[in-house]
Structure 1
Amino acid sequence: MLGYLASAPLLALALILTLGFAVGRIRLGGLSLGSAAILFVAIAVSTAEPGIRMPPLLYQLGLALFVYCIGLAAGPAFFRTLRSRGLALNLVIVGALAALTGLAAVLIRVSGADPVTGAGMFAGAVSSTPGMAAILDAVPELLPPGADPARATDAVVGYSLAYPGGVLGIILVAAVGYRLLKVDHQADARAAGVLPEPLHYACIRIGPGRDLTVAEVPDYTGARVITTRLALGEGADADQRLAEPEDRLRPGRVILVNGTAAAIEAATAALGERSEMALDAADLRFVRMAVSNPEVAGRTIAELRTLEEHGFTIARLRRGDADVVPTGADRLQLADRVRVVAPRQRIDAIRDYLGDSEKSLASPDLLPLALGLAIGLGLGAIPIPLPGGSSLALGFGGGPILAGLVLGALGRTGPVRWQLPYHATRTLEAAGMALFMAGVGTSAGAGFREALTDPASLRYIGLGLVLTVVAAVAVVAAVMAWRGLSFDEAIGVAAGLSTNPAVIAYLNSASGTDLSARGYTTVYPVAMVGKILAAQGLIMLLL
C-alpha cells in the first residue's frame, strides 16, 4: 500500500490530510494539535516509506497562501494599534527575537548540535513554520561546495522535535503565572474594557453653551455613543425623527443615544442632563445584516455617511466572534455583520444597500487574491544586502505576509477590493497551512527515522523547551514592568510571539475573556515576519 502511494502522490496527499485533520481533533487535557497534526502524520508516513514525497511547489504555494491571508485579516488592526500602544509592544517582540536568536546560536554551538537541525529546532521552539521554510530555502545556498543540499530537510526534523515543547512551554508559563499571581481574569478584562457590555438608550437634553452636530457627538463627549433620534421642539407634540449626522444640536434639544451604560453617563455629563421626555423608539428596528455589497466593503463607516442617504446608523460591528461598538474609522469588510438601527420602513432599502446576501459572499472575486499573491511573492524575491557581501530575502513566506498586511489595511485601491469575505479568508488560510504541513512533512521522513533512534534527539527537545520558556518569561516580565500590562494580556503578547493558534486557544479558554487575544493580535504580524528574518539570520550565523 505504501509503495503504491509513493507512485500516487495526489492520493497520498488526500490520505495525509484526512488522517492529519482527524488526529488534530483529538483533545488531551483540553489541548489539540489542530492543523499541526498534518505535519506529524506526513512525517510518519514518509518515515515508513521515504518514497512518498510532495513536490516543493506544493508547500511553497500553501505557505504563501497561508501567510497572505493572515496578513489580510490582521492588517487593519495591526496598523491601527501600531500608532498607539502597539508600537511599544512590538519593540519588545523585536528585541526578544534578536536576543533569542543570539541565545539559540550560543546554545547550538556550545551543545555541539548540528547547525541545520538546530536552526529547525529554533523555528519549532517559536512555532514558526514560515521560519522553517525560510531555513529550507536558505540552506542549499549556504552549504559549502559539494555538500548534499538534501541536508536542508534536517531543519524539518529539528522543527518537529521542538514543536510540542514550543506549545507546552508557553502553556506551562501561563498556568504557573495564573497560580502564583492569583490572576482575576474578569476583573482585569473589565478594567481593560474588553468585556462586552449590553447596549442601553437614554434621552439627553442639550445644555447651555453646547453647539455641535450629531456627527460630532462621539468626539465632543469622548464616549462611544450613537445618536439615533432627536426632537424638533418641546413637549409631547414635538416632531421626532431619525437623527442625521449634519443635524445641529442646540441647547434645549432632546436626543436619544445608544451605547453602554458608562458611555451614556459620560455623554450625559458632557452634553447636558437626562431628560424625562420620551422619544418614541417604537418605529426603530435593530437588525443584523451582512455586508456583501462590494461598493460598501473597503470603506470606513465615516465614508459611508457621504454615500448613503443618512437613513440608518450602525450600532454594532461583528467580525468573526468579535462584537464591538464601531467608530467612524472602522473599515467594513465583506461578511461583516452589522447591527443596523433604522425606522421599520427603511429596513428593506438598507438591506439592499448593504447587500445582506450569503450567496454573493459564497462567490468571492479571486482576482485580487491572485494579484496580491503575485505582489507578495515578487516582494519576497528581492534580495536584501547584508554586511560581508551576503544577502537574505523575505522569501515565499515573508513577502506575502507583508503584502497582505499593507493591502489588508488599505482595504481597496480604486476599483480593486483586496479584502475577501471573512469565511473565505479563514478557509484559504487553513487550506494553505494544511498543504504546507503535508508537503514539508513528507520531505523529512528519512531524517526523522534516524532521529528516532538517536539519543541526541533529546538534546534538541530540551534546547527547544529552554528557548520557549525563556522567551515567554522574558516577554511577560518586560511588558508587565514597562507597559503595566496585566498578566492575561502579557501572556497573550508572549503567545503572539509564538503565533501558535493552539496556545491562544488555551489562554482564551483558561481566562474566559478576550484580554489575552488583544495582546496576541497586537504583535502577531511583527512576530510572524520577525521570526522569518530571525530564522534566516540564525542559519547564516551557524553555517
Structure 2
Amino acid sequence: MLDYLATSPLLTLVIILALGLALGKIRCFGISLGAAAVLFVALAFSTLNPELELPPLLYQLGLAMFVYAIGLEAGGAFFAQFKARGWKLNLFLLVLLVAMAVLSVAIVSLLGIKPTIGAGMFAGALTSTPGMAAMVNMLGSLDPAQSAQPVVGYSLAYPGAVIGSIVVAAVGAKLLKVNHREDARAEGLISDSLAWRGVRIGEGITGRIGDLQAITGQQVIASRIVRSDHEHELGMRDRELRPGMVLVLNGTPDALDKAIAVLGEPVELSLDGTNLVYSRITVSNKAIAGMSLGQLNTCSRGFLVVRARRGDADEVPNPSTVIRLSDRVRVVTTPERLPEVRRYLGDSERELADVDLLPFFIGLLAGLLLGIIPVPLPGGNTLSLGFGGGPIVAGLILGAMEKSGPLRWQVPYHANRTISTLGLSIFLAGVGTKAGVGFRQAITDPSSIAVIGGGFIVTIASAVLCAAVCMPLLKLKWDEAMGVAAGMTTNPAVISYLNGQTNTELATRGYATVYPTAMIGKIIASQVVLLLLI
C-alpha cells in the first residue's frame, strides 16, 4: 500500500490531510494539536516509506497562502496597536528573539548537535514553521543533500515547545494565584453584552449626537430620538443636543450607566410598536466592503448601524469603523425602508460564497516577489523573506489598506479562516514527507535526546523571560504576558490553551500585538542561526 502511495501523490496528500486533521481534533488534558497533527502523520508515513514524498510546490504554495491570509486578517489591528504601546512589545520581542538565537547556538555547540539539525531545533523550539521552511529553502541552494535536516530538528523540538509554553503558563498562574477575570476587567477587556437604554438630556449639555462619545468618554451610540411612545426618529449624527431631548443609547451596561450620569437622567422606554424597527443583516455587497461607516453615510439612506459583529465579537461602531464582507450589522430604520437596506448591504450567503480570488492572488504574487529579494550579508551570503515572510508582509500592508481602487484586499472572515487552515495543512503535509529519512534515523539515535532537551530549554527560557520583563517593566498582567509568549511561538495550540483557561481576551491581545513581528522575525533569525552554525 505504501509503495502504491509513493506513486500517487494526490491520494497521499488527501489521506495525510484526512488522518492529520482527525487526529488534531483529539483533546488530551484540554489540549489539541489542530492542523499541526498533519505534520506528524506525514512524518509517520514518510518514515515508513522514505520514497513517499510530496512535490515541494505543494508546501511552498500552502505556506504562502497560510501566512498571507494571516497578514490580511491581522494588518489593521497590528498597525493600530503599534502606534500606541505595540512598538514597545515588538521591540522587546526582537531583543528576546536575538537572545534565543544566541542561546540556541550555544546549546548546539555545547551539546555537539549536528548544525543543520540544531538550526531546525531553534525553529522547532519557537514553533516557527515558516522559519524552518526558510532554512530548507536556503539549504536547497547551499547544500541540497542536507535540505531536509532542519525538518528533523524542528520535529524533535516541536512537541516540547508546545508543552513547555503551556507548563509555564499553567504553573505561573497557579503560583501567582492569578484571577483571570479580574485582571481582564482591570484592563477593560471583559466582554459585556451590548444593551440599550433611554436617557433625557439635561441642562448644560451642548453639541451634536455625533459628539456623544467625546462628551461622555464612553463607547456609546444614539440610535433613536424619541418623540413619543410610538414615534421615534433616527439618531442622526448632525442633530443638535438640547435639554429634554430623549435618546435611545446603545453600548455595554457599564458604558451606558456612565454616559447617562454625564448626559442627564435615565428614562424607561419600550421599543415595541414604534415606527422604527431593528434587524441584523449580513454584509455581502462587494461595492461597499472596505469602506468606513463615515464614507457610507448611512443616515442619508435612512438607516443607522448601531452594532457590528465580526466573528464572535460585537462592538459599538463609529464613523471610522470599516465594514467588511461577512460582517453582521444591526441596523435601525423604518419598516418600509428595511427591504431597501437589506439590498444595499447585501444580506446574501450566496454572494459571500462567491469569493473574488483575483485580489487575493494579486496580493499573494506581490508577497512572493517581495520574498525573493535577496539581502546581502557579510561574507557573501544572502538572506530573504522567502515564500513565508514575503506574503505575510504583503498581507499586513494590504490588510491595513482594506482596498485599492477596485481591488478589495480583504476576503470574507470565514473564507479567510478556511484558506489559512487549508494552506497550513497542505504545507505541513508536504514538508513532513520530505523529512522521513532523517527523522527515522533521528528517533533511533540517542543524540536526539539532546535536540529535544535543548529545544525545551529554549522554549522555557523564552516564556519565563516574557513574564520576567513584561510584567514589571511593561506593566502587563500575567495572562497578557503569556499571550506575548504565545505570540513569540506563533502557535495556535498555545493561545488556544490560554483562551480556554482564562475565558478572556487578555492573552489574545498580547498574542495579536506581537504575532506578525514574531512571524517575520523568526524567518530572518532562523536563516541567520543556520548561517552561524554551518
TM-score, structure 1 as length reference: 0.94
1:215-230 alignment, distance < 5 Å: 215-230=210-225
1:384-403 alignment, distance < 5 Å: 384-403=375-394
1:182-193 alignment, distance < 5 Å: 182-193=177-188
**Which runs of 5 or more residues in structure 2 are unaligned?**
none
Contact between 2:230 and 2:273, CA under 8 Å: does it hold in 1?
A: no
| Residue matched to 2:470 | 479
| Residue matched to 1:243 | 235
1:519-538 alignment, distance < 5 Å: 519-538=510-529
| Residue matched to 1:455 | 446
Q: Distance in 2 between matches of 1:238 and 1:113?
A: 78
What amino acid does structure 2 have at the position aligned with 1:100?
Answer: M
Contact between 1:38 and 1:438, CA under 8 Å: does it hold in 2?
A: yes
| Residue matched to 2:4 | 4
Q: CA deviation at 1:142?
A: 4.1
Secondary structure, counterpart of 1:138 in structure 2: helix
1:106-125 alignment, distance < 5 Å: 106-125=106-125
Residues 47 and 411 (structure 1 numbering): CA distance in 2 closer, same or farther, change over 3 Å?
A: same
1:191-206 alignment, distance < 5 Å: 191-206=186-201
Q: Distance in 2 between matches of 1:202 and 1:20?
A: 50
Q: Distance in 1 between matches of 2:306 and 2:186?
A: 23
| Residue matched to 1:361 | 352
Does the alignment pair 1:351 with 2:375? Answer: no
| Residue matched to 2:208 | 213
Secondary structure, counterpart of 1:344 in structure 2: coil
Q: Distance in 2 between matches of 1:310 and 1:9?
A: 55
Secondary structure, counterpart of 1:309 in structure 2: helix
Q: Distance in 2 between matches of 1:322 and 1:243?
A: 24
Identity of aligned residues (%): 51
Contact between 1:254 and 1:275, CA under 8 Å: does it hold in 2?
A: no
| Residue matched to 2:417 | 426
| Residue matched to 1:146 | none
Q: Distance in 2 between matches of 1:82 and 1:179?
A: 31
Aligned Cα root-mean-square deviation (Å): 1.9
Contact between 2:126 and 2:488, CA under 8 Å: does it hold in 1?
A: yes
More displaced stretch, 418-427 vs 82-91: 82-91
Secondary structure, counterpart of 1:35 in structure 2: helix
Q: Distance in 2 between matches of 1:270 and 1:28?
A: 51
| Residue matched to 1:15 | 15
Q: CA deviation at 1:32?
A: 1.6
What amino acid does structure 2 have at the position aligned with 1:225?
Answer: V
Q: Distance in 2 between matches of 1:320 and 1:388?
A: 48
Contact between 1:125 and 1:166, CA under 8 Å: does it hold in 2?
A: yes
Residues 44 and 501 (structure 1 numbering): CA distance in 2 closer, same or farther, change over 3 Å?
A: same
Contact between 1:408 and 1:418, CA under 8 Å: does it hold in 2?
A: yes
Q: CA deviation at 1:311?
A: 2.6
TM-score, structure 2 as length reference: 0.96
What amino acid does structure 1 have at the position aligned with 2:79?
Answer: F
| Residue matched to 1:270 | 262
Match of 1:489 among 460, 480, 485: 480
Q: Distance in 1 between matches of 2:532 and 2:286?
A: 48
Q: CA deviation at 1:241?
A: 1.4
Match of 1:179 among 159, 174, 179: 174
Contact between 1:256 and 1:279, CA under 8 Å: does it hold in 2?
A: no
Q: CA deviation at 1:303?
A: 2.0
Contact between 2:197 and 2:269, CA under 8 Å: does it hold in 1?
A: no
Residues 227 and 237 (structure 1 numbering): CA distance in 2 closer, same or farther, change over 3 Å?
A: closer
Secondary structure, counterpart of 1:84 in structure 2: helix
What amino acid does structure 1 have at the position aligned with 2:71?
Answer: G
The number of aligned residues is: 533
Does the alignment pair 1:260 with 2:252? Answer: yes
**Which runs of 5 or more residues in structure 1 are unaligned?**
144-148
Contact between 2:283 and 2:347, CA under 8 Å: does it hold in 1?
A: yes
Q: Distance in 1 between matches of 2:229 and 2:109?
A: 84
Match of 1:439 among 405, 430, 448: 430
| Residue matched to 1:89 | 89
Match of 2:280 among 277, 281, 288: 288
Q: CA deviation at 1:458?
A: 0.5
Q: Distance in 2 between matches of 1:489 and 1:46?
A: 39
| Residue matched to 2:164 | 169
Q: CA deviation at 1:315?
A: 2.7
Q: CA deviation at 1:103?
A: 1.1
Residues 238 and 253 (structure 1 numbering): CA distance in 2 closer, same or farther, change over 3 Å?
A: farther
| Residue matched to 1:47 | 47
